[in-house]
Amino acid sequence: NKKPKIVILGAGYGGIMTASRLIKSNTQQDAEITLVNKHNYHYQTTWLHEPAAGTLHHDKTRMEISSVIDLKKINFIKDSVVEIKKDEKKVILENGEVDYDYLVIGLGSEPETFGIPGVNENSFAIRSVNSVRLLREHIEYMFASYNKEDEKHEDILTFVVAGAGFTGIEFVGELSERVPELCEEYDIDPKKVKIYSVEAAPTALPGFDEELVEYAMNVLESRGVEFKINTPIKEVQDGKVLLNDGEEIKSQTIVWTTGIRGSSIIEDSGFETMRGRVKVEKDLRAPGYDNVFIIGDCALIINEEINRPYPPTAQIAIQQAYTCSKNLKDLISGKEELDVFKPEIQGTVASLGGKEAIGLVGDRKLYGGSASAMKKIIDNKYLFQLGGVPLVLKKGKFNFF
């Protein structure tokens, strides 16, 4: 009478919260639980724009998995998932394989390139500790390089951020705060630095509240950011982006934030996907696979009020972890009727660097200091959910004023 095996892939918001909730409900007594992740640490993807610009050290955004998950209660495998063999109930890892009775897929996302040539080869991404550490180092290297040559190349101090969605805007906010510090450190006239935010749609943050978008653009423009709106990028080459209107911008630092798609592992493993995401059943299981749950950025769920997908967010990934862990426990104890996932969107708050931010919480619009404080409260709340007061004290954000 062997215990059923639950395997969780990915220790991001969805995966680690599922593991944490399973432990809280003592599911390890009735099942053998295994968590698989590329790294031995969990990082907060929602904070990555900060270490990417160098306004926060990356260690603040990550924590060892063993510090938040009791590894006496579940197994942890540090390895990369290569393929899911769903018909054989087996996962192929870079250095081995693991079989399961129940699987939770929380492998997160990859940058969406829309097939635009040159993106992968010539741009930076804001997706992981590794990718943002490289970007931060590169930015600093640009400043360090500028005064080395007699002939000054302006493209060294030109930064292009492709896409003015939330990731692009939050990164531009941090970068525009960081630039004055870097200019001072490397004896550079701030007027030499150019930051472009290039957006295909007729506005930055398309679909978001117009007043808040205007506020955000004004804040960023006052720090020297130049918006190119209604301007799709059509190609990226080594050292430049080509815009749809025929213009080109020379830059040694092109940051690609035009949206995301689900981890390619899912598509490559034969699941039917839309932009790499699986349209899951109401109980978060994959269609046709009653023993596979898909959560977070890998899952597509429809907002029936507007008949469009919910944007993939940490907020939803965390809430899905609660439903997913409850449904797993129920399945194991023999229940057939599972809970339906219903997101409760509490709001959207985006930082603009420093003490500036915008937010929409219910019907309330938040600007500046109050939005920025709200953002920190949201970040701290997650830490509390995962690791209680000790984790908030260790990794939380307290510089409210």
Of 248-287, which residues contact ligand NAD (CB under 6 A)?
A: 257-260
Cα angle, residue 48 at apex, residues 156 and 82 outer, rounded to 5°: 105
Of 195-214, which residues contact ligand NAD (CB under 6 A)?
A: 198-201, 206
Please select the residue that binds ligand NAD; options are 232, 309, 343, 368, rule is CB under 6 A.
232
Shortest Å, Cβ 243 to ligand NAD: 8
Of the two residues 38 and 90, which places its CB atom closer to ligand FAD in the complex?
A: 38
Of the two residues 28 and 176, which places its CB atom closer to ligand NAD in the complex?
A: 176
Closest residue by beta carbon to ligand FAD: 12
Shortest Å, Cβ 302 to ligand FAD: 17
C-beta separation of 205 from 360 below 8 A: no
Shortest Å, Cβ 219 to ligand NAD: 15
The secondary structure of 170-222 as a DSSP string is HHHHHHHHHHHHHHHHTT--GGG-EEEEE-SSSSSSTTS-HHHHHHHHHHHHH
142 vs 121: CA distance, rounded Å: 19
Of the two residues 252 and 263, which places its CB atom closer to ligand FAD in the complex?
A: 263
The secondary structure of 13-69 as a DSSP string is HHHHHHHHHHHHTTGGGTSEEEEEESSSEEE-GGGTHHHHHTSS-GGGGEEEHHHHS
Q: Please indicate whether residue 170 is annotated as part of the active site.
A: yes
Of the two residues 186 and 367, which places its CB atom closer to ligand NAD in the complex?
A: 367
C-beta separation of 294 from 131 below 8 A: no
Of the two residues 58 and 240, which places its CB atom closer to ligand FAD in the complex?
A: 58
Shortest Å, Cβ 276 to ligand FAD: 12
Contacts of 265 (CB under 8 A, 6+ apart): 81, 82, 83, 84, 107
- Least Cα distance to 167 among 157, 159, 155, 175 occurs for 175
Four-residue CA torsion sign, 99, 102, 105, 106: negative
Of 325-384, which residues contact ligand NAD (CB under 6 A)?
A: 348-350
**Cβ-defined contacts of 275-278 (< 8 Å, 24+):** 275/112, 275/300, 276/109, 276/110, 277/309, 277/312
Q: Which of ligand NAD, ligand FAD, none does residue 255 bind (CB under 5 to 8 Å by kind)?
A: none
Mask 147-186, x = binds ligand NAD (CB under 6 A)?
---------------xxxxxxx-x----------------
Shortest Å, Cβ 366 to ligand FAD: 13
Should residue 311 be labelled a site residue for ligand NAD when binding is judged by CB under 6 A?
yes
Binding site for ligand FAD (CB under 6 A): 10-15, 36-39, 45-46, 48-49, 80-81, 106-108, 126, 167, 170, 263, 265, 296-297, 312-315, 317
- How big, in percent rounded to 5, are the helix, strand and coil portions of the chain? 35, 25, 35
Catalytic residue, chosen from 50, 112, 170, 281, is 170
Contacts with ligand NAD, residue ranges (CB under 6 A): 114, 116, 162-168, 170, 198-201, 206, 232-233, 257-260, 311-313, 348-350
The catalytic residues are: 170
